[in-house]
Amino acid sequence: MTKILPFKAVRPARPYAGLVASRPYEDYSETELRSQLEYNPYSFLHIVNPGYKFQHDIGGARRFEMVRNRYLEFREEGTFIQDPKPCFYVYKIKSRGNSCCGIIAAASAEDYERNVIKKHEDTIAPREQIFKEYLKVVGFNTEPVLLTYPDSELINSVLAETMKQRPEYEFATANRELHTLWKICDDENVNKIRKEFGAMSKIYIADGHHRSASSYLLAQESKDANPDHTGEEPYNYFMSYLIAESNLRIYEYSRLVTDLNGFSKEEFLIRLDEWFRIENRGFEIYKPSKKHHFNMYLDGEFYSLYLRHTNYEFSDSLSRLDSFILYEKILKPILGIEDLRHDKRITYVHGRNDLIELKTRIDSGEFQVGFGMLPANIEEIKQIADENLTMPPKSTYIEPKLRSGLTIYEF
């Protein structure tokens, strides 16, 4: 049984929604960030970058406190309002060629603990603790965890009926996306959605493993500190965006490496030959068409690498994953890269950027070799989660990516 609840969102008043909503802070270049902060007083970036008001960089616990202050100012000035009744929020994002729609709701920290909410990535304990402290000080969450569930005709029908109504928000962004949000507050449809999710034995984290882990840590700490704990306090839940599996867009990450770990080009190719059948594609831009096929760009030429199945043994779902094969047979044993998160010799380019970027960065001399693969699919992700295994870092780049500031969950 999966527990998904409506909540009383704090959100922009209707006139300000398009101005408040922002991309994640790290997505902005320095020039874009400065422009937004200077010319848009309603941008949510003013909350997450509170030192701008004083033209001063602020870090650590002081920054968390000032984030809280900027947030309270937005509430006091009427930029933010709070719904009087718990609601589900239907959020649709439409871009060129793609459209997705899901439900913003509160998911249960207890479900996370019981593994009803399934994970497929490892988390880093220090990052969990930092974000937990951030949540504890600011008292709100504005970055939903992306959860996915099997397609449901009942939920689809509720969403379709809801989207016939006038939306709360409808605005376009500079990257040619259309963002639309509706509320579901009536008891009948709220209960339908709760009951439908309640019948699901499990759902899956698509993106946001650290956010969910940090929210769980905060729930545990708050529970221990509250002698009157009931289990229904807001800290027992975390804000999530629930989307049907068919609406997910899953892309791969290419790997770029600065050097060949002391090998010459010829020696490196000989080492690869043990596990892969290699074809030189020359100047032809090659992208794999099957699982266990890889592309490689080296010294101005593309290569196709086909895993030798007669040599490689599949033992579980992780061993079949292309990013794992690439790590186990090339990155670690040949190129000497063991720590995929922190080794400065490796970087990643997500599949929304084409192979031209990979080629350009290698041709520039910044990197010496690059590898690509097909993206993982939802069934691979679910199977790895069901087997309680974890993917290598940067195995998936998953969309949609939501705007910050449209719905806020207070603890």
Coil vs helix vs strand at 172: strand
pLDDT(245) > 90: yes
The number of helix segments (H) and strand segments (E) in the chain equals 13, 21
Supply the pLDDT for residue 26: 83
Supply the pLDDT for residue 64: 95
Going by pLDDT thresholds of 50, 70 and 90, the confidence category of residue 51 is: confident
> What letter would DSSP give residue 27?
G
Q: In whole angstroms, give the CA distance from residue 356 to residue 361.
A: 9
What pLDDT digit, counting tens, does each position of 359-393 carry?
A: 999 999 999 999 999 999 999 999 999 999 999 99
What pLDDT digit, counting tens, does each position of 197-243 carry?
A: 999 999 999 999 999 999 999 999 999 999 999 999 999 999 999 99
What pLDDT digit, counting tens, does each position of 152-178 carry?
A: 999 999 999 999 999 999 999 988 999
Going by pLDDT thresholds of 50, 70 and 90, the confidence category of residue 60 is: confident
DSSP letter string, 85-123: S-BEEEEEEEETTEEEEEEEEEEEHHHHHTTSEE--B--
- The residues pairing with 305 across neighbouring beta strands, listed in sequence order, are 278, 294
Q: What angle do CA 385, 382, 3 make, to 5 degrees?
A: 80
Q: Domains in the chain, ordered, with CATH? A: 4-250+399-410 (no CATH), 253-395 (3.30.1760)
Mean pLDDT of the chain: 95
pLDDT(57) > 80: no
Q: Which of 401, 128, 127, 354 is nearest to 254 (CA)?
A: 354
Supply the pLDDT for residue 5: 98
Going by pLDDT thresholds of 50, 70 and 90, the confidence category of residue 66 is: very high
Going by pLDDT thresholds of 50, 70 and 90, the confidence category of residue 27 is: confident
What pLDDT digit, counting tens, does each position of 286-324 carry?
A: 999 999 999 999 999 999 999 998 889 999 999 999 999
Coil vs helix vs strand at 343: coil
Per-residue three-class SS string for 304-331 = EEEECCCCCCCCCCHHHCHHHHHHHHHH
Supply the pLDDT for residue 338: 95
Quote the pTM value.
0.94
Supply the pLDDT for residue 247: 93
Supply the pLDDT for residue 100: 94
pLDDT(54) > 90: no
Better pLDDT: 345 or 124: 345
